[in-house]
């Protein structure tokens, strides 16, 4: 089985979000970048396929050279080979067209991408790869088994789960539940040393259209002070929620 995991290079979940250049660019100053958590759940599942079913696992990213540290981390976790498509992505469609083109030429059985990146939250890339390459697609994937070309998976739906059968070639939108938080792997020294010797191929971007452009960012309006209510006076809380906030 040939697997490729799409890796997005995103600010750590604890990052303070700021913008520069008159709020047109994300401020990278002091921000630590990590593997997008939804991609990392997928990468861990891919490692299990490698260990139990002998799958090969490539990782791929669309980005400039600063994203290579994130790809190296994926290699240290156990991926076999990394590919970086050399461009600064403008939007999800941009990324998806680049990835789809490479993936198509590589004949992968399984494409794993996080259901969304935690920075732009587009939720576009896995579905668009599937649409561009006419592959099957399961989003919000929380369980996945593959035997030959037969796929059994589960998708998280609002308020429950559904069991799905499908076939390869398949794209999944990965998320927590596919593996547990405690299953995630921290690269060990041996992994890090081996990662240095693994191939990190840099390939040029293909031409692609910018369907959308980001023009300006805004931060939410700072919130006012909290209104504290004494634990002995919960009638007051009910009164405020009913008459002031009008939510009950």
Partner 1 sequence: MAILVYTESEQGKFKKIAFEVASYARAIADDNNTTVTAVCINAESPMDLESYGVDKILNISSPDLTTFNALSYSQSILQAAENEKSNIVVISSSADSRYLAPLLAVKLNAGYVSNACELPSSYKPLTIKRTAFTNKAFENVQVNTENVLISLAKNSFSINEVKSSTSVEEFSVTIVENDTKVISVEKATDKVTIADADTVVSAGRGLKGPENWGMIEELAEVLGAATACSKPVSDLGWRPHGEHVGQTGKPVATNLYIAIGISGAIQHLAGINSSKVKVVINTDPDAPFFKAADYGVVGDAFEVVPELINKLKTFKAQN
State yes or no: residue 206 binds partner 1 (CB under 8 A). Answer: no
For partner 1, the closer of residues 54 and 220 by Cβ is 220
User: Quick one: which of 21, 54, 147, 226 contacts partner 1 (CB under 8 A)?
Assistant: 226
State yes or no: residue 132 binds partner 1 (CB under 8 A). Answer: yes
Q: Give the number of other Cβ atoms within 10 Å of residue 78's Cβ.
A: 20
For partner 1, the closer of residues 64 and 131 by Cβ is 131
User: Quick one: which of 17, 64, 193, 203 contacts partner 1 (CB under 8 A)?
Assistant: 17
User: Quick one: which of 118, 194, 200, 205 contacts partner 1 (CB under 8 A)?
Assistant: 118
For partner 1, the closer of residues 203 and 238 by Cβ is 238
Structure tokens at 125: 């890339």
The answer to whether residues 61 and 9 touch, using CB atoms and an 8 Å cutoff, is: yes
Angle, helix 68-77 to helix 189-197, in steps of 10 degrees: 120
State yes or no: residue 237 binds partner 1 (CB under 8 A). Answer: yes
- Rounded to whole angstroms, the Cα distance separating 142 from 139 reads 9
User: Quick one: which of 53, 121, 188, 199 contacts partner 1 (CB under 8 A)?
Assistant: 121
Query: Which segment (43-51, 68-76, 137-145, 189-197) binds partner 1 by CB under 8 A?
Result: 137-145
State yes or no: residue 182 binds partner 1 (CB under 8 A). Answer: yes
Q: Which among 58, 110, 102 has a CA at the least distance from the CA of 79?
A: 58
Instruction: Check whether the bond before 169 is cis (ω within 30° of 0).
Output: yes
- Rounded to whole angstroms, the Cα distance separating 177 from 222 reads 34
């Amino acid at each position: 089985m040939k697997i490729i995991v799409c890796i997005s290079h995103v600010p750590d979940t604890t990052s303070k979000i700021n913008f520069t250049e008159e709020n047109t660019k994300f401020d990278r100053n002091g921000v630590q970048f990590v593997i997008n958590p939804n991609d990392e759940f997928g990468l861990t599942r891919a490692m299990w396929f490698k260990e139990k079913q002998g799958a090969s696992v490539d990782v791929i990213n669309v980005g400039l050279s600063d994203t290579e540290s994130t790809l190296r981390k994926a290699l240290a976790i156990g991926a076999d080979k990394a590919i970086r498509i050399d461009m600064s992505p403008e939007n999800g469609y941009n990324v998806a067209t680049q990835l789809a083109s490479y993936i198509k030429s590589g004949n992968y059985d399984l494409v794993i991408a996080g259901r969304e990146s935690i920075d732009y939250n587009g939720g576009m890339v896995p579905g668009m790869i599937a649409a561009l390459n006419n592959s099957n697609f399961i989003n919000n994937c929380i369980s996945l088994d593959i035997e030959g070309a037969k796929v059994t998976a589960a998708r998280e739906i609002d308020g429950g789960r559904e069991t799905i059968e499908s076939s390869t070639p398949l794209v999944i939108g990965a998320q927590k539940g596919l593996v547990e938080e405690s299953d995630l792997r921290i690269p060990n020294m041996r992994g890090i040393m081996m990662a240095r010797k693994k191939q990190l191929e840099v390939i040029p971007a293909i031409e692609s259209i910018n369907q959308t452009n980001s023009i300006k960012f805004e931060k939410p309006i700072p919130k006012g002070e909290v209104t504290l209510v004494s634990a002995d006076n919960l009638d007051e809380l009910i009164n405020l929620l009913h008459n002031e906030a009008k939510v009950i």
